[in-house]
């Protein structure tokens, strides 16, 4: 192959320099915009390099659609069919022969190649195309390739290519590799804006925009929507409302290869097409004849939640880089138009790039593959963005729970069996375990249905999807069944296995996603604590137990999108070892009694419960202690005397400090074992705690030498000159005496307690209403008494109101009656 036989495209200008850099340095970064021809021309041009004749050139593509399309374009330039000089390999499909010099693979296939054969003796170069998509498999494959190049294959050439990329950053990862830039070839694109009203569904907005552009221009249209569901709804809105010369085609990852290829082929002569696509059509794929793009501005990305072990699809705003890629699709073959369904000024607020998948993904497969590669700590590999520690920890925990890794992080026999199946970890474990009970065939088919969108339909009930999958006759379904058969055989399954139900099998993949019906029809709680909902019209909505394979949405109301029913008997058989029997003690605050119940739980799901008799003896005392700790000392039966004792001790602690004890709420709760527990009587009711027990408990906190001083330092009563014993009230560091003023006549010194601490006097009228508050009784007699006397003697004429109360006799009575 020589350069002069290749088409003249913008990237042609840099091909000689690229070949020389790879010869001399072994690593390079090529930044080339869409339309430059890098995907097609670079691998073909490098076939002529002397170093490339030692082995194949492997081209990595992030998507199967792009891999097939790239292989076919290169084969067509050579006048061949894929499978000769240019071949491809991906899940469920491969075209390759002994003559294949360029092998186009998806990134996941490349990572497994590097792990299973690190020497790569038959490979001369690896090219990472569209690296800006930053898939987890792409990042991992590059990290492995760099490790292999550094340790085993210094002659292995590595080339990273992208349309929108921080070339300097990638070059730094590659040890300062040279960065080459190519011009692009594109036609002008008129970018227009039409904001979608908030109340308008995205499908309706896209359909309206498509109809508008069909009337305004004569080419084909590519419309970007977030997912399959929106594509189907938009298709329904457009199906009967398009001109007669327009063909309507969906394009997403759930379609088989033939349907995807049909969507990207040029329209037939005299016809136009409208392609409704997900982000699968953003890069690597040119749809000939497209002169207009409708961009919803939305994309659906997987978000992994380490705390729940769930990966959910989240609809988000596209990045500016993605928006530019989408718009560029309209200018690949002719001038075009891009209609964005948002305001122009909103573009600046979009994130610059889509977050790398490694920062958002479930890393269990990565950790397992690293262990197979001999690396127990993935952060030791050269990643452009290191994997997050929480996700790594969650992944290790899962793999250790499944028995795939030992405590040192090394691959076990179980882990090797799981990894051999080339499935997501949970699904691979399900198939491996199912093979031991002659259920590998159904388990493998179930795994394929869950990992390949669209097979068996889109119903929530996985048993229904399994049944439909067995009757599907399309090429994709047949390839999927063949793959499932190979997986079952690899796991050790038998060919004559009878069909199995999905629910019990799913227990081996998602034991944490067993769901139990709760409350409202169609609502479930999962064992991991999440909530899930089903449309009440779904047959599964009435089941008591489900195993959930997939949810969408957030928090407590995630929508269950794939699940299977399971009986309680199957649940007990499959997860009996995980079911816990718990004795729960709780306080019935209405009746003031501690109760007990026995609960059988699977995580957050309560399978059964029964009420037990209240505890007795030490168990009852401990239970009451916990009730007080949870509800506060206010639930205790405080009586007037014990409340008074606590107030006196609080007063002394506040005015004199230690060793007088702190009897505040916080302090008493912290010392329940010291003052309350020894005085309980083994009964589980609050009412069984006596006032004497509380008083003795409080006094137990007082050092012995202080107990005899309590009445002197903080007496409970004051003995008035009349002989009355009047209670003293202790509040906020004050000792308060509420007493009728006549009982203090004759006092010339202010009443005090302890070491001369003055009482706060609340002087009362004969009717026990407050008339004055003072901490200086002699001053009161000399001062405001005259005003009080003038007012009170008219109101209470039967009582004594002397002019000089300090010289008068105290009294509790009114004036004697005059006969």
> How many CB atoms lie under 10 A from the CB of residue 725?
10
* Higher-pLDDT residue of 202, 812: 202
Question: H or E stretch including 796?
Answer: none
Residue 760 lies in a domain: yes
Structure confidence at residue 3 (pLDDT): 45
- Section 138-161 average pLDDT: 95
* Higher-pLDDT residue of 112, 92: 112
Strand order in the sheet with 760-764: 717-719, 725-731, 734-740, 760-764, 770-774
Taking only the tens place, the pLDDT of each residue in 438-492 is 999 999 999 999 988 888 988 999 999 999 999 998 888 898 999 999 999 999 9
Distance CA 369, CA 150 (A): 19
Among all chains, which residue has been given the structure tokens 């894929």? 82
R_g of the chain, CA atoms, integer Å: 41
- Section 736-740 average pLDDT: 95
Rounded (5°) CA angle 44-120-59: 30
- Section 217-245 average pLDDT: 91
Tell me the angle at which helices 462-469 and 475-490 cross, rounded to the nearest 10 degrees: 110
Distance CA 644, CA 165 (A): 76
114 and 47 together in one domain:
yes
* 83 token code pair: 């499978």
Closest CA to 525 of 517, 484, 590, 778: 517
Taking only the tens place, the pLDDT of each residue in 685-722 is 998 999 999 999 999 999 998 998 999 999 999 999 99
| In the predicted structure, residue 400 carries a pLDDT above the cut 50 | yes
Range of the domain at 500: 421-578
Question: H or E stretch including 592?
Answer: none
Residue 388 lies in a domain: no
Question: H or E stretch including 734?
Answer: strand 734-740
Distance CA 788, CA 809 (A): 18
244 and 133 together in one domain:
no
Give 817's pLDDT tier (boundaries 50, 70, 90): low
- What is the pTM assigned to this prediction? 0.71
Distance CA 432, CA 446 (A): 13
| In the predicted structure, residue 819 carries a pLDDT above the cut 70 | no
447 and 566 together in one domain:
yes
703 and 729 together in one domain:
no
Residues ≥6 apart with Cβ < 8 Å to 340: 191, 192, 193, 194, 295, 297, 323, 327, 347
> How many CB atoms lie under 10 A from the CB of residue 164?
20
> How many CB atoms lie under 10 A from the CB of residue 88?
28
What is the 3-class SS of 31-48, one letter each residue? ECCCCCCHHHHHHHHHCC
Tell me the angle at which helices 202-216 and 228-238 cross, rounded to the nearest 10 degrees: 50
Distance CA 59, CA 46 (A): 12
Residue 270 lies in a domain: yes
Cβ–Cβ < 8 Å for 511, 309: no
**Number of domains the chain contains:** 5
| In the predicted structure, residue 284 carries a pLDDT above the cut 80 | no
Question: H or E stretch including 323?
Answer: helix 320-328
Structure confidence at residue 628 (pLDDT): 92
Structure confidence at residue 555 (pLDDT): 56
Residues for the chain: how many in total?
819
Residue 484 lies in a domain: yes
Give 1's pLDDT tier (boundaries 50, 70, 90): very low
For 15, 76, 100, 487, 768, the CA distances from 7, given in Å and listed in that order, are 12, 12, 21, 42, 110
Verify cis geometry, omega within 30 degrees of 0, for the bond prior to 659: yes
Which of the residue ranges 274-288, 392-406, 630-644 would you say has the lowest mean pLDDT?
Answer: 274-288
219 and 289 together in one domain:
yes
| In the predicted structure, residue 572 carries a pLDDT above the cut 60 | yes
| In the predicted structure, residue 732 carries a pLDDT above the cut 90 | no
Among residues 663, 684, 714, which one ends one of the domains?
714
Structure confidence at residue 787 (pLDDT): 92
702 and 769 together in one domain:
no
Q: 436-447 burial, b if ≥16 CB within 10 A, otherwise e?
A: eeebbbbbbbbb
Give 309's pLDDT tier (boundaries 50, 70, 90): low
Among residues 540, 557, 578, which one ends one of the domains?
578
Give 659's pLDDT tier (boundaries 50, 70, 90): very high
Residue 406 lies in a domain: no
703 and 721 together in one domain:
no
568 and 617 together in one domain:
no
What is the 3-class SS of 279-304, one letter each residue? HHHCCCCCCCCEEEEEECCEEEEEEE
DSSP state of 491: T
- Section 551-562 average pLDDT: 79
Taking only the tens place, the pLDDT of each residue in 335-364 is 999 999 999 999 999 998 888 999 988 899
Residue 164 lies in a domain: yes
* 227 token code pair: 């997912």
Q: What are φ and ψ of residue 446, in 5° steps?
A: -65, -40
**Residue 625 region, left (φ>0) first, then alpha (ψ -120 to 50), else beta?**
alpha
DSSP state of 117: -
Among residues 181, 213, 248, which one ends one of the domains?
181
Residues ≥6 apart with Cβ < 8 Å to 694: 636, 637, 638, 639, 642, 676, 679
Q: What are φ and ψ of residue 597, in 5° steps?
A: -145, 155
Distance CA 79, CA 659 (A): 99
- Strand, coil or helix: what is 610? strand
678 and 721 together in one domain:
no
Q: Residue 9 sits in a domain of what CATH number?
A: 3.40.50.300
Q: What is the mean pLDDT of the chain?
A: 90
129 and 14 together in one domain:
yes
686 and 757 together in one domain:
no
Taking only the tens place, the pLDDT of each residue in 248-269 is 999 987 777 778 888 888 888 9
Structure confidence at residue 2 (pLDDT): 44
332 and 193 together in one domain:
yes
Residue 416 lies in a domain: no
Half-sphere exposure of 117 (CA within 13 A, CB side): 7
Residue 399 lies in a domain: no
For the chain, give the percent of residues with pLDDT over 90.
66
Cβ–Cβ < 8 Å for 89, 96: yes
Neighbouring-strand partners of residue 89: 94, 105
Give the DSSP per-residue string, 57-98. EEEEESSHHHHHHHHHHHHHHTT--TTSSEEEEETTEEE--T
Q: Would you give the end-to-end CA distance of the chain in angstroms?
A: 143
- Section 575-595 average pLDDT: 86
Instruction: Compute CA 329 distance to the chain's CA centroid, rounded to the nearest angstrom.
Output: 34
């Amino acid at each position: 192959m020589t350069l002069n036989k290749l088409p003249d495209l913008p990237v042609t200008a840099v091909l000689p320099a690229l070949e020389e850099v790879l010869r001399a340095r072994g690593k390079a970064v090529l930044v080339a915009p869409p339309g430059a021809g890098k995907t097609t021309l670079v691998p073909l041009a490098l076939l002529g390099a002397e170093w490339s004749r030692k082995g194949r050139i492997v081209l990595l593509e992030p998507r199967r659609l792009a891999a097939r399309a790239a292989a076919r374009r290169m084969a067509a330039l050579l006048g061949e069919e894929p499978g000769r000089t240019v071949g491809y390999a991906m899940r469920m499909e491969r075209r390759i022969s002994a003559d294949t010099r360029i092998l186009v693979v998806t990134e996941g296939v490349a990572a497994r190649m590097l792990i299973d054969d690190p020497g790569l003796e038959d490979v001369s170069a690896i090219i990472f195309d569209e690296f800006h998509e930053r898939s987890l498999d792409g990042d991992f494959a590059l990290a492995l390739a760099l490790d292999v190049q550094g340790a085993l294959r210094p002659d292995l050439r590595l080339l990273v290519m992208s349309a929108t990329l921080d070339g300097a950053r990638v070059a730094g990862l590659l040890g300062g590799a040279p960065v080459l830039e190519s011009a692009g070839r594109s036609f002008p694109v008129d970018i227009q804006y039409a904001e979608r009203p908030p109340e308008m569904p995205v499908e309706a907005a896209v359909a309206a925009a498509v109809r508008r552009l069909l009337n305004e221009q004569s080419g084909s249209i590519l419309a970007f929507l977030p997912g399959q569901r929106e594509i189907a709804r938009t298709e329904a809105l457009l199906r009967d409302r398009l001109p007669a010369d327009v063909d309507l085609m969906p394009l997403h990852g759930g379609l088989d290869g033939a349907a995807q290829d049909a969507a990207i082929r040029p329209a037939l002569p005299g016809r136009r097409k409208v392609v409704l696509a997900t982000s699968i059509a953003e890069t690597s794929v040119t749809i000939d004849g497209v002169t207009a793009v409708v961009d919803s501005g939305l994309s659906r990305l997987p978000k992994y939640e380490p705390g729940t072990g769930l990966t959910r699809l989240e609809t988000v705003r596209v990045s500016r880089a993605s928006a530019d890629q989408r718009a560029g699709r309209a200018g690949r073959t002719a001038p075009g138009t891009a209609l964005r369904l948002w305001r122009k000024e909103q573009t600046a607020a979009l994130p610059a790039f889509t977050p790398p998948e490694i920062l958002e993904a479930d890393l269990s497969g990565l950790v397992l593959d690293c262990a197979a590669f001999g690396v127990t700590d993935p952060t030791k590999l050269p990643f452009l963005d290191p994997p997050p520690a929480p996700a790594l920890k969650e992944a290790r925990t899962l793999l250790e729970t499944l028995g795939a890794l030992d405590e040192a992080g090394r691959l076990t026999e179980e882990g090797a069996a799981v990894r051999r199946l080339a499935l997501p970890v949970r699904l691979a474990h399900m198939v491996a375990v199912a093979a031991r009970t002659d259920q590998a065939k159904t388990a493998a088919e179930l795994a394929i249905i869950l990992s390949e969108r669209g097979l068996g339909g889109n119903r929530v009930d996985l048993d229904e999807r399994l049944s439909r999958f067995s009757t599907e006759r399309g090429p994709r379904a047949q390839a999927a069944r063949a793959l499932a058969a190979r997986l079952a055989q690899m796991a050790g399954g038998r060919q004559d296995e009878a069909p199995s139900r999905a629910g019990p099998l799913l227990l081996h993949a998602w034991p944490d996603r067993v769901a139990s019906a709760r409350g409202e029809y169609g609502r479930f709680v999962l064992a991991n604590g999440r909530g899930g909902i089903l449309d009440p019209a779904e047959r599964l909505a009435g089941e008591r137990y489900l195993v959930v394979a997939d949810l969408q949405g957030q928090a407590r109301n995630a929508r269950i999108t794939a699940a299977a029913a399971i009986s309680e008997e199957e649940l007990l058989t499959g997860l009996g070892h995980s079911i816990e029997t718990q004795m729960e003690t709780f306080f019935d605050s209405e009746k003031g009694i501690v109760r007990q119940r026995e609960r059988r739980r699977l995580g957050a799901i309560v399978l059964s419960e029964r009420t037990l008799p209240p505890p007795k003896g030490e168990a009852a005392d401990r239970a009451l202690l916990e009730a007080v700790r949870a509800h506060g000392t206010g639930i205790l039966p405080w009586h007037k005397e014990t409340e008074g004792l606590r107030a006196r001790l609080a007063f002394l602690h506040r005015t004199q400090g230690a060793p007088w004890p702190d009897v505040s709420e916080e302090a008493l709760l912290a010392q329940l074992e010291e003052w309350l527990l020894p005085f309980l009587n083994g009964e589980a009711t609050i009412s069984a705690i006596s006032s004497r027990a509380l008083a003795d408990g409080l006094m137990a906190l007082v050092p012995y030498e202080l107990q005899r001083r309590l009445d002197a330092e903080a007496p409970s009563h004051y003995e008035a000159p009349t002989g009355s014993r009047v209670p003293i009230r202790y509040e906020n560091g004050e000792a308060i005496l509420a007493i009728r003023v006549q009982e203090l006549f004759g006092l010339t010194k202010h009443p005090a307690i302890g070491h001369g601490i003055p009482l706060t006097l609340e002087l009362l009228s004969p009717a026990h209403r407050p008339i004055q508050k003072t901490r200086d009784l002699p001053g009161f007699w000399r001062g405001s008494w005259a005003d009080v006397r003038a007012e009170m003697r008219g109101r209470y004429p039967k009582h004594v109101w002397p002019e000089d109360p300090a010289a008068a006799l105290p009294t509790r009575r009114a004036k004697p009656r005059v006969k």
